[in-house]
Structure 1
Amino acid sequence: NFLASSPDAGQLMALLLKLLNPKKTIEVGVFTGYSLLLTALNIPDDGKIIALDPDRNSYEIGLPFIKKAGVEHKIQFLQSPALPVLDKLLKDPANDGSFDFAFVDADKNNYWNYHERLMKLVRIGGIIAYDDTLWGGMVAMAEEEVPEDKREWRKQAIAFNKAIAADSRVELTLASVGDGLTICRRLL
C-alpha cells in the first residue's frame, strides 16, 4: 500500500489551495509530509501550517524535501495526537474561524471528532478536506466481501460519509481521486 496522498488528489489539493490562497492552515496527520509539502508550496510565503502527528520519525523522512523546497518556515510541527491540540486551540477564542484550510488524513475513527472541532476553527467559506473516504472502494462493497481486519474501518468510513453528507453546515463534494477526497466548504 502507498501510504501518502495520491498524486491526483495532491494536484486537486494544490489547485484548491491556489484558489483559496490560505494564510493559516492545519493538517491533521502528517506521516512523511507529502501533503504537508504540497500545502506549504501552495500557500503564500507568509502562510502558516500547524501540522499535527504523534510520529515525529515519519515526519523527519520528508523533512529534507521540505527544507530543500525552502518552505520549512511555514510549518509548525507538533508531535501530538490531534484531538488534545485541537481542543487547546478551541480554548482560545482568537482561534475561532481563524483557519482558512484544513486537511485530515489521520486515524479514520476520529474523522467526525476532527470535523466537529475544525468546524469551529475553520472560517465560514474555508475548506476542510478529508482523505481516504472511499477506503479502497470498500465503502461500496458488501461487508462479507471486505477482509475481516478491515471491516471496522469500513464501517467507520461509511458512518463518517453518511454524517458529513447530512451536515447542513457544509457544502461538499467527493472527488474519486486517490482513495477518495471529500472536500467541504464551511457554510455556517
Structure 2
Amino acid sequence: MASNSAGGSINMKSAVMKQVKNTGLLQSEELHQYILKTSVYPREPEPLKELREATESHPMCFMATSPLAGQLISLMLKLTNAKKTIEVGVYTGYSLLLTALSIPADGKITAIDVDRNAYEIGLPFIRKAGVEHKINFQLSDAQTALDNLLQEEGNEGSFDFAFVDADKPNYKKYHERLIKLVKVGGIVAYDNTLWGGTVAMAESEVQEFMRPNRDAVVELN
C-alpha cells in the first residue's frame, strides 16, 4: 500500500511538472529543444552535463533545475560578482554545482535541503569538479536553517545571492528571511514563479492539482 501511495505521489508530481513545462512561455517543445541544442547544451560544462544525465534516470528528475535556467543563474552570479550564496532546495545538485563552478575559488554556498539521498547522487560529480570545499550542505527544513543563519552574528546582509527552488507554499516565508540575509544590491531568485503560465489565468481555468502552488507564487509575486 505504501508503495502504491508513493507511486501515486510521483505520478501526480509528474503530471504537475508536465503541465508546467507544456504551458511554458515558449508554448512549443520543438522550439525549446532547438534552443537547448543550439544555445544551451554547447555551453554546458562537462561536469554539469554528466550530472544532468545521471539525474535523468531518477524518478523525481522533473525536480531538477533546467540547463536553460542554469545559464541564467550563472549569468546573474557573474554579473553581480557573487561570492557568498544560499541555495534553498538542492535535489541532486545541478544548480548547486553550477553555482560552485560560477563563483570564485574562495566562494561559499550554504545549501539547504531535507533530502540528503538526492544530494548524494550529485556529490560524486561535485567532487570530480573539485568544488566540494565551497559547499556547506545543511540537512534541514529551510525555515529552521534560515532562522539559524539570521541568529548567527555577521550573517544579516552578508550574502550576495540566493536561489530558491523548493516548496512553493513556503516561498513567502523564505523571502521574508532571505531579504534580511542578502545584502542590498544582491539577488534573490525563485524558480517556477509563473507556474506554467497559470498565474495569469482565472482560477476557474486552472486545474485543481495546480492551484495550491499557483496561489502561492501569485501571493509571492
Same fold judged by TM-score > 0.5? yes
- Residues 1:113 and 2:173 are matched in the alignment: yes
Partner of 1:57: 117
Contact 2:126 2:132 in 1 (8 A): yes
Q: Which residue of 1 aligns with 2:135?
A: 75
Tell me, yes or no, if structure 1 residue 145 matches structure 2 residue 171. no
How many residues of Structure 1 are paired with residues of Structure 2 in the alignment?
161
Match in the other structure for 1:66:
126
Unaligned runs of 5+ in 2: 1-16, 18-61
Q: Distance in 2 between matches of 1:64 and 1:141?
A: 42
Contact 2:169 2:212 in 1 (8 A): no
Q: 1:13 aligns with which of 59, 69, 73?
A: 73
> CA–CA distance in 2 between the matches of 1:33 and 1:73?
14
- More helix by percentage: 2
In 1, Cα distance between equivalents of 2:114 and 2:210? 23
Instruction: State the AA in 1 paired with 2:150.
Output: L
Q: Distance in 2 between matches of 1:42 and 1:102?
A: 14
Q: SS state of the match for residue 106, structure 1?
A: coil
Deviation at 1:85, TM superposition (A): 1.0
CA deviation profile, 1:34-64 (whole Å, cap 9, x unmatched): 1101100000010000000000011111111
Counterpart of 1:27, as a letter, is E
Q: Larger radius of gyration, structure 1 or 2?
A: 2
Scaled by the length of structure 1, the TM-score of the pair is: 0.82
Question: Could you say which structure has the higher strand fraction?
Answer: 1
Q: Which amino acid letter does the alignment assign opposite residue 97 of structure 2?
A: L
1:93, CA displacement in angstroms?
Answer: 3.3
- TM-score, normalising length: structure 2: 0.70
CA RMSD, 1 decimal: 1.1
Q: Does 1:23 align with 2:83?
A: yes
In the TM superposition, residue 144 of structure 1 has moved relative to its aligned partner by 2.4
Per-residue deviation at 1:159? 1.1
1:84 equivalent to 2:84? Answer no
Q: Is the 8 A contact 2:172 2:219 kept in 1?
A: no
Once residues 61 and 49 of structure 1 are traced to their aligned partners in structure 2, the CA distance between those partners, rounded to angstroms, is 18
Give 3-state SS (helix, strand or coil) of 1:93's partner: coil
Which secondary structure state, in structure 1, belongs to the residue aligned with residue 212 of structure 2?
helix
Deviations 1:123-143 (A, max 9, x none): 111111111101111212222
**Alignment partners' CA distance in 2, 1:78 and 1:123:** 21
Match 1:125 to one of 182, 185, 199: 185
